[in-house]
């Protein structure tokens, strides 16, 4: 059986315990895996430590909880599933209780971009662009955006068929978003590495039709690493001299994010998504 103490603004940590008949969980000498109060103590052999804990910077209250005994998700069998009442920034005081922090403000900055294009031949064109870094900040928030170098290559393979390639290098290391009063426990807001992006695609035009496919791979900049992939299929049809209809389908598959504490996987998620767009285009002359 699993148990979780009722949350209080007086306590610093939220815990999940494996309940054993007659077990000693160290209260009130221990709070979770930490000494509690002036008379607190370190770990002892007669105390049972919690199997999981986190503080109020991550959540507010462990709410509900069930041990999964189903058959549709074998990997979850025997696991304790719960939700947190909230996952945002709060401020707690022993007497006044807790209040959510809502930060508002304005910040200003500038950025720039330099680009050049070379028509190497009738069939091949190359372009290069350089986006300058930029910084925005106020008393609550710091935003540091990276410099990005992009290289484009376009080639006509045959009549109506074009190949495109794009490479970009973004200097995200130590860049990103940081709040004065918020600790990024999961390491998602500040880049830990620079990022490489590769994209390629083919377009083919025949009669009044245009079809194309594309693929891109983006190196993740957070502490989890890995690469995100995107696949595109699209096309269009020329309805009249100035009118055309366009359509695009895109599928995204993000790298799996997982985190372990003491050999136990506590976070494991992989996001996927798809989108479809349909548009009507008019050419002004």
pLDDT tens digits for range 213-266: 999 999 999 888 889 999 999 999 999 999 999 999 999 999 888 776 666 666
Q: Measure Cα distances from 183 to 26, 55, 97, 105, 263 in Å.
A: 29, 11, 20, 19, 23
Same domain, 137 and 252: yes
Same domain, 117 and 85: no
190: nearest Cα among 209, 212, 169, 175: 175
What residues in the chain have per-residue pLDDT under 50? 6-9, 87-88
Round to whole Å and give the CA distance between 207 and 73: 51
Strand partners, 118: 126
Number of domains into which the chain is organized: 2
Same domain, 78 and 121: no
- Domain-ending residue, one of 100, 126, 151: 100
Same domain, 126 and 83: no
Same domain, 85 and 216: no
- Domain-ending residue, one of 100, 129, 157: 100
**128 located within any domain:** yes
Q: What is the pLDDT of residue 25?
A: 78
Q: Is 65 left (phi over 0), alpha (psi -120 to 50) or beta?
A: left
Q: For 104-131, write each residue's pLDDT tens digit.
A: 556 666 778 899 999 999 999 999 999 9
From the centroid of its chain, how far is CA 44? Answer: 39
Residue that is written with structure tokens 């992006």 in the block: 197
- Domain-ending residue, one of 70, 100, 130: 100
Round to whole Å and give the CA distance between 89 and 128: 42
Quote the domain boundaries for residue 267.
Answer: 113-282
Round to whole Å and give the CA distance between 4 and 245: 57
Q: What is the pLDDT of residue 164?
A: 97
**Is residue 130 a contact partner of residue 149, using CB atoms and an 8 Å limit?**
yes
**105 located within any domain:** no
Tokens read off for 32:
């979770």
Same domain, 232 and 125: yes
Same domain, 158 and 93: no
CATH number at residue 188: 2.40.160.60
**107 located within any domain:** no
Q: What is the pLDDT of residue 266?
A: 64
């Amino acid at each position: 059986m699993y148990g979780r103490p009722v949350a209080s603004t007086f306590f610093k940590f939220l815990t999940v315990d494996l309940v054993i008949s007659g077990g000693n969980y160290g209260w009130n000498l221990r709070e979770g895996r930490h000494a509690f109060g002036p008379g607190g103590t370190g770990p002892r052999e007669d105390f049972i430590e919690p199997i999981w804990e986190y503080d109020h910077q991550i959540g507010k209250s462990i709410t509900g909880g069930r041990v999964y005994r189903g058959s549709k998700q074998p990997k979850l069998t025997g696991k304790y599933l719960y939700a947190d009442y909230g996952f945002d920034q709060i401020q707690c005081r022993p007497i006044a209780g807790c209040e959510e922090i809502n930060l508002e403000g304005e910040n200003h900055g500038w950025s720039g971009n330099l680009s050049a294009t070379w028509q190497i031949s009738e069939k091949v064109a190359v372009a290069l662009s350089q986006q300058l870094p930029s910084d925005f900040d106020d008393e609550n928030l710091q935003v540091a955006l990276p410099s990005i170098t992009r290289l484009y290559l376009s080639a006509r393979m045959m009549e109506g068929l074009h190949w495109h390639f794009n490479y970009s290098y973004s200097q995200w290391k130590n860049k990103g978003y940081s709040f004065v009063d918020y600790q990024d426990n999961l390491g998602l807001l500040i880049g830990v590495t620079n990022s490489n992006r590769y994209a390629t695609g083919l377009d083919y035009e025949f009669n009044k039709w245009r079809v194309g496919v594309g693929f891109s791979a983006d190196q993740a900049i957070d502490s989890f690493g890995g690469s995100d992939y995107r696949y595109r299929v699209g096309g269009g049809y020329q309805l009249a001299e100035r009118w055309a209809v366009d359509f695009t389908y895109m599928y995204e598959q993000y790298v799996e994010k997982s985190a372990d504490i003491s050999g136990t996987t506590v976070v494991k998620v992989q996001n996927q998504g798809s989108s479809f767009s349909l548009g009507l285009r008019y050419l002004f002359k």
